[in-house]
Amino acid sequence: MSYIVGVDIGGTFTDCVVVNDQGEMVVGKSLSTPPDFSAGAADAVRDAARNIGLGDEDELLRETTLFFHACTIGENTLITRSGPRTGLVATRGFPDTLLMMRGKVTDGLTEAEAGRLAWLRKPEPFVPRGLVAEVNERMDYKGAVTVPLDEAQAAAALDALVARGVESVAVCLLWSVANDAHEKAVAGILQQRHPGVYATLSSATVPYAGEYERTATTVFNAYIGPRISSYLSNLERVLRSKGLEKSPMIMQAYGGVLDIEATCRNAVGTIESGPASGVVGTRFLGELIGEENILATDMGGTTFKVGVVREGRIERDYTPVVLRHRVLAPKIWVESVGAGGGSVAWIEKETGLLKVGPEGAGASPGPVCYGLGGAEPTVSDADLILGYLNPDYFLGGRMRLDREAALQAVKQRIAEPLGMNESEAALGIYRISNAHMSDLVRRATVEKGHDPRAFVLFAFGGAGPVHAGRYAADLGVRQVVIPLTASVHGATGLISSDVVHEYGKSDHLQVPADAGRVNDNFAELIRRAEADLGAAGFGPADRAVTRSIDMRYRYQVHELNVPLPTGTAALTAADLEQLYTSFDQAYEKAYGKGSGYREAGKEILTFRVTAVGLLNKPRIKEAPLRTTAVDGAMKPPRRVFFEELREYAPTAIYDFQRMRPGMALSGPAVIETPVTTVVVNPRDRVEIDRFRNIRIFVGDNAAGL
């Protein structure tokens, strides 16, 4: 038997999905283990191996043909500012680019934060001013040398940085996107004089125009690169010692995987790769069940995240904001809010109002009910009090929850100060967290010109299925899908991934653009793409290359990425005219009818190529649908609180392990799985589909089924 394995490390749990060559899928789960996350990865693989019936993780890894991995090392390093001492090399006269940022200082802030004067200060830079070295050199915007690089001065500047304790250096010189010779020369000097120092070149990592954004992206890469490299090297060593033969493939935030060597060079690509894998898994499952318009919602222990699959295409963000810094590292568009199972409930002193999040209890100490030392009441504590969670069957019974401790925490911290009983306080926590989630989904849809009612909602993450029926109803969504792998869905996205390389080039052209120049730009990128795919062992039949262009109206700042016809054939003048029309249509869809300023003309800013090495996808086993009574899956009922009933009521409880495709039931009910809990509200109806996904038909949509 051979296996494909995916492991996704989250802030609270580490998830594993295993598919064998018969299409059978098994999951594993363990607590994350900071600071050495590789231990948690091995624990999750061990849990999956035992669920398969194997002796240990070594036996599973020896038979593994592909091992995929996503981790939170990059974002954790940035959030905790635990990266190495990092320096920046800039063109003389431009040392303050990172400090100046842009005039707009509200990027990355919530509406509430943006309205507070204290938040309107720029964030602390990851490279302090004293660690920015200027070098004598200058290119013009066409790539011509106007000031030659002073190599002796550059060497002295690098020596000074290292003398100040710098372990990693970001090199970002003006107009290196047009000519990277000086950046390469600086890197050569650094390698010769200080070979142990990690280096990142902007021309290699982010070859796009945009002085501040390029600098910020290069600094991020230099800041997290050593940590990513150290972690992945250790992970590979651990896995190979346990029998894994092939090197792990690492998830990138834009939705594909790369080998460890490429990932270490482009460490910034791993930031938020875990959420990206969940959206990739959503599209994969959507293709299986025939859904192409999907809201991917992920509620874990720390955050709630939303991504969008529209007409089978995953929406991307080419200039995402990371910790208030706008960067040029393409990623799958995922928006998040601090509304996870571990989100802390608290009372705002100024108003006396109940609040939930964004602070979270994390993996350690976690919610009060975990019994690991947590003292602040959380969403999971409220879910337990309301009867949604079974204290004796959390993680399939491997972890017992302390309901009495949760009651006391909610009583002392929330209920008594607000003059409520414990159940009223728990319901308030539950409702507020649901409101946070539905508001975020609205931002992902309504504010982008989409109607959420036209989408199916996928709910995953360990805590998501407890809440999904409520926030879906609030949005008017007709159907919720709880995947078989709901609590480990990010890992499902890993095993359905391809090897993906992203290439780009900035070249500012006014429309109508010269077709020859457009084709020359793409030809250069395509040559690099095909060479890299060929070196990785992908033949012509196993490759897919797509092209796109970033455009905007002249004198405006809003850029849109517009895809071009598939393939690599030369573009004609007619193809470019269609591109311009597509941009007009996309702009009005994004910003409203009549918003396009067509009279200003258009301009092309960036050329992009995505090269995909197609991997064999696992064939997921499906079962025939049979009309079978669900009684055989029933467990003893328990009292559960539902808003419609306004009280605790005896509620049917079902064991998902005994449910089969074709079974159906009506709410109110609770379905318990070893890795998550599904709450079925009174007006909803459930069916188990042929892939053992749980389909919830919400409210009025359940009536005719």
Under DSSP, the state recorded for 571 is P
Distances (CA, A) of 360 to 11, 301, 305, 462: 10, 8, 15, 15
* pLDDT classification of 383: cutoffs 50, 70, 90: very high
Q: Can you identify the CATH homologous superfamily of domain 275-497?
A: conserved archaeal protein q6m145 (3.30.420.190)
> Between residues 495 and 157, which one has the greater pLDDT?
157
Q: Averaging pLDDT over each range in 457-461, 490-494, 496-500, 637-641, which range is the top one?
A: 637-641
- What is the mean predicted confidence (pLDDT) over 177-200? 96
d(CA 380, CA 124): 33
- What is the mean predicted confidence (pLDDT) over 132-155? 96
Distances (CA, A) of 304 to 295, 322, 434: 13, 16, 10
pLDDT recorded at residue 629: 85
d(CA 616, CA 643): 46
Three-state secondary-structure class, residue 537: coil
Q: Return the number of other C-beta atoms located less than 10 Å from residue 598's C-beta.
A: 11
| Token pair for 390 | 């079974």
Q: Phi/psi at 596 (nearest 5 deg)?
A: -70, 135
Three-state secondary-structure class, residue 650: strand
- What is the mean predicted confidence (pLDDT) over 151-160? 97
Q: What is the mean pLDDT of the chain?
A: 90
Domain 3-77+229-270 - what CATH class?
alpha beta
Helices (H) and strands (E) counted in the chain, each on its own, are 19, 35
Name the residue type at position 353: L
Q: Which helix (H) or strand (E) holds 162?
A: helix 151-163
- What is the mean predicted confidence (pLDDT) over 267-283? 91
d(CA 340, CA 444): 18
**C-beta of residue 481 within 8 angstroms of C-beta of residue 291:** yes
**C-beta of residue 389 within 8 angstroms of C-beta of residue 381:** no
> Between residues 598 and 134, which one has the greater pLDDT?
134
d(CA 479, CA 458): 9
Peptide linkage before 367 cis (omega within 30 of 0):
no
Q: Which helix (H) or strand (E) holds 200?
A: strand 198-201
d(CA 402, CA 54): 32
Give pLDDT tens digits for 314-353: 988 988 999 889 999 999 998 888 788 888 999 998 899 9
pLDDT recorded at residue 218: 97
pLDDT recorded at residue 555: 79
Residue 584's contacts (CB-CB under 8 Å, 6 or more residues apart) are 596, 598
**C-beta of residue 377 within 8 angstroms of C-beta of residue 385:** no
Give pLDDT tens digits for 661-701: 999 999 999 999 988 899 999 999 999 999 999 999 998 65
Q: Which of 224, 227, 228, 212 is nearest to 325 (CA)?
A: 212
Q: Return the number of other C-beta atoms located less than 10 Å from residue 614's C-beta.
A: 14
Q: Where are the domains of the chain?
A: 3-77+229-270, 82-224, 275-497, 499-613, 630-702
CA atoms in the 13 A half-sphere facing the CB of 443: 17
Beta-bridge mates of residue 306: 297, 335
Q: Which of 319, 304, 251, 389 is nearest to 672 (CA)?
A: 389
pLDDT recorded at residue 461: 82
d(CA 266, CA 611): 16
Residue 397's contacts (CB-CB under 8 Å, 6 or more residues apart) are 674
d(CA 341, CA 677): 12
pLDDT recorded at residue 126: 95
Name the residue type at position 637: P
pLDDT recorded at residue 458: 95
| Token pair for 85 | 């001492």
Angle between helices 37-52 and 211-241 (to 10 degrees): 50
What per-residue string of b and e applies to 170-182 under the rule 16 or more CB within 10 Å gives b?
A: bbbbbbbbbbbbb
Per CATH, 3-77+229-270 and 499-613 having the same topology is answered no
Residue 272 has pLDDT above 80, yes or no: yes
| Token pair for 632 | 């055989």
Residue 38 has pLDDT above 90, yes or no: no
- What is the mean predicted confidence (pLDDT) over 603-610? 95
Give pLDDT tens digits for 396-406: 887 899 999 99
Q: Phi/psi at 190 (nearest 5 deg)?
A: -65, -45
d(CA 254, CA 258): 11
Calculate ∠ Cα 508-447-10, nearest 5°: 85
CA atoms in the 13 A half-sphere facing the CB of 93: 6
Residue 669's contacts (CB-CB under 8 Å, 6 or more residues apart) are 651, 652, 653, 654, 680, 686
**C-beta of residue 238 within 8 angstroms of C-beta of residue 213:** no
Residue 364 has pLDDT above 80, yes or no: no
Residues listed for the chain = 705
d(CA 53, CA 6): 18
Domain 499-613 - what CATH class?
alpha beta
**C-beta of residue 114 within 8 angstroms of C-beta of residue 197:** no
Calculate ∠ Cα 180-181-187, nearest 5°: 90
| Token pair for 693 | 């996904």
* pLDDT classification of 622: cutoffs 50, 70, 90: confident
Over 376-417, what HEC string results? CCEHHHHHHHCCCCCCCCEHHHCECCCHHHHHHHHHHHHHHH
Residue 118 has pLDDT above 70, yes or no: no
Residue 703 has pLDDT above 60, yes or no: no
Name the residue type at position 697: F
Residue 352's contacts (CB-CB under 8 Å, 6 or more residues apart) are 418
**C-beta of residue 3 within 8 angstroms of C-beta of residue 20:** yes
- What is the mean predicted confidence (pLDDT) over 226-250? 93
Q: Which of 359, 299, 362, 306 is nearest to 332 (CA)?
A: 306
Q: Which of 340, 412, 403 is nearest to 376 (CA)?
A: 412
Angle between helices 211-241 and 73-80 (to 10 degrees): 120
**C-beta of residue 389 within 8 angstroms of C-beta of residue 372:** no
Name the residue type at position 459: A
| Token pair for 376 | 């602040």
Beta-bridge mates of residue 672: 655, 677
Angle between helices 464-475 and 422-445 (to 10 degrees): 60
> Between residues 629 and 306, which one has the greater pLDDT?
306
Q: Which of 156, 160, 170 is nearest to 98 (CA)?
A: 170
Alpha helices in 536-680 (DSSP H): 573-591
* pLDDT classification of 88: cutoffs 50, 70, 90: very high
* pLDDT classification of 448: cutoffs 50, 70, 90: confident
Residue 705 has pLDDT above 50, yes or no: no
Tokens 């529209």: give the residue.
Answer: 310
* pLDDT classification of 32: cutoffs 50, 70, 90: confident
Residue 656 has pLDDT above 80, yes or no: yes
**C-beta of residue 133 within 8 angstroms of C-beta of residue 98:** no
State the pTM of this model.
0.85
